Structure 1
Amino acid sequence: MLKETIKVACSSCNLRELCMPVGLNTQELIRVDELVATRRTVKRGAALFHTGEKFTSLYAIRSGFFKTGITTEDGRDQVTGFQMAGEIIGLDGIVNEQHTCDAVALEDAEVCVMPFDRIEEISREVNALQHHVHKIMSREIVRDHGVMLLLGSMRAEERLAAFLLNLVQRLQARGFSKSELVLRMTREEIGSYLGMKLETVSRTFSKFADDGVIAVKQRNIHILDADALKRIVNVPQCH
């Protein structure tokens, strides 16, 4: 179940710099504060939106973790991404005005609901907001290209190493540790996202642990040697 809660001002949110434009003047901040209609809580395992649902809003994740996914023609669930606090979710719906994937909470989460017609209206006045929305969309495209590279040309070890480095980097931007993380997703979900069988994911985690690159305790991962992970990936980054 989705639960509507009170409105919150973007200008006073501690995640503002992650999901909102920076450097706005007072007048612009007041306008941007009008973006968020409500906050919603989404319980673990519940969907924020489903494939085929009418697209009305973008959602800024305030707390919690989501996975997006599609059901393939042969009935398999394919994970297409993982999203965390400070990231915007729902961009898939802009093109055809309906969502093209499911977004499911991996833990109890809270999102800020930003009606898209309001974003478009305020963007006409606040250029920085329009630029910011374009930047977010561009980042999604770059991330999709990165995933295609991951799936198309990397061995299992490279895929998992790249995945862990990406997660840590995103969490670090939110003030978390650069060496410790708690995986909110299952090994199976990681495998679905990376195009790997569950046994391969488990085996690769074990290999990294045996090699002293990471320490694994259930869902807790401690990165002992980030440089070793980077060497495993060893793919020139696109900037």
Structure 2
Amino acid sequence: MHRYRTDAAWLGTARCRNCAIRDLVLFGDLRDPDFGLIQLPIDELRIEPGAALYHVGEDGGSLYTIRSGLVKLVQFLPDGTQRIVRLLRCGAVAGLEVLVGRPYEHTAVVLQEAEVCQLPRAVVERLSKETPRLHARLMERWYQSLHQADDWLTALSTGSARRRLARLFLKLAADCPGEPVRLSGREDLGAMLGLGMETASRTIAEFKRAGLVRETMPNVFVCDGPALEAVDREG
């Protein structure tokens, strides 16, 4: 796993309080006295594409807040193939399952260079017990994770290849309005949609010919939202 720290470990008091994305992340509702409960170091890490935050089955000692970049959660099927069950962007939390004593349920792999905060499980558990605001935020994140997983399963695993791909482009475009949609490659695309790589590549080519998407750089697309919505409505 290739990673390097952007800063030395810190106790979080000043950095969490002044975090630029604090309203998005797990500690967003903490107040000044709460930061005194943080007594283990929180590491701020920059992680290269292709590296893993953690692997499925590992006993987890940390949660991760995504500060920037893109991370995929991968599930490996019995036949050896992989399925991408979610994409995590800025503000998302990975590894919540460790709070109930479970090993990591997925492998978390960085798709686009990511900055993350590595939160020791003991810190989050203590804050959850002693700070009702954080406990409420944790419950909200549990719900969001379940909802997103159900949403991905429903939207990206059902219907024709054309409808699945249209829904994926619409979801990714909605995540970052006004910005091009970035995909990491045809193999990952197939793993997100439950399609073979050849089918995924063929469907992308069809969309490009029809003007539904325009590839400005390799795996970077400008989308025609209304046209993609029309594809999603196809019977």
For the aligned pair, the TM-score class normalised by the smaller chain equals: 0.7 to 0.9
Give, in whole Å, the separation in 1 of the partners of 2:171 and 2:77. 26
Measured on the aligned residues, the alpha-carbon RMSD in Å equals: 2.5
- 2:86–2:148: 8 Å Cα contact kept in structure 1? no
- 1:113 alignment partner, one of 118, 134, 137: 118
In the TM superposition, what is the alpha-carbon distance from 1:138 to its structure 2 partner? 0.7
Q: Percent identity?
A: 27
Give, in whole Å, the separation in 1 of the partners of 2:55 and 2:125. 23
Instruction: Name the structure 2 match of 1:202.
Output: 201
Instruction: Name the structure 2 match of 1:57.
Output: 62
Alignment TM-score, normalising by the size of structure 1: 0.83
Give, in whole Å, the separation in 2 of the partners of 1:88 and 1:45. 19
Give, in whole Å, the separation in 2 of the partners of 1:229 and 1:130. 39
* 1:51-75 deviation line (CA, Å, top 9, x unaligned): 2211111100122222221332222
In the TM superposition, what is the alpha-carbon distance from 1:180 to its structure 2 partner? 1.7
Task: Indicate how the Cα distance of structure 1 residues 56 and 201 shifts in structure 2: closer, same or farther if over 3 A, else same.
Answer: same
* Higher mean C-alpha displacement, 47-56 vs 118-127: 118-127
- After superposition, residues 1-239 of structure 1 pair within 5 angstroms as 1-4=2-5, 5-6=7-8, 7=10, 9-20=15-26, 22=28, 24-28=30-34, 30-31=35-36, 37-172=42-177, 178-183=178-183, 185-217=184-216, 218-223=218-223, 225-234=224-233
In the TM superposition, what is the alpha-carbon distance from 1:95 to its structure 2 partner? 4.3
Give, in whole Å, the separation in 1 of the partners of 2:188 and 2:156. 15
AA in 1 matched with 2:193? L
* 1:104-155 deviation line (CA, Å, top 9, x unaligned): 2223322101112211211233222111111111111111111221255321
Alignment TM-score, normalising by the size of structure 2: 0.84
Give, in whole Å, the separation in 2 of the partners of 1:33 and 1:78. 36
In the TM superposition, what is the alpha-carbon distance from 1:23 to its structure 2 partner? 5.6
Q: Secondary structure at the match of 1:44?
A: coil
Task: Indicate how the Cα distance of structure 1 residues 23 and 205 shifts in structure 2: closer, same or farther if over 3 A, else same.
Answer: same
Gaps of 5+ in 2: none
- 2:157–2:194: 8 Å Cα contact kept in structure 1? no
AA in 2 matched with 1:219? N
AA in 2 matched with 1:97? R
Q: Secondary structure at the match of 1:124?
A: helix
Task: Indicate how the Cα distance of structure 1 residues 211 and 22 shifts in structure 2: closer, same or farther if over 3 A, else same.
Answer: same
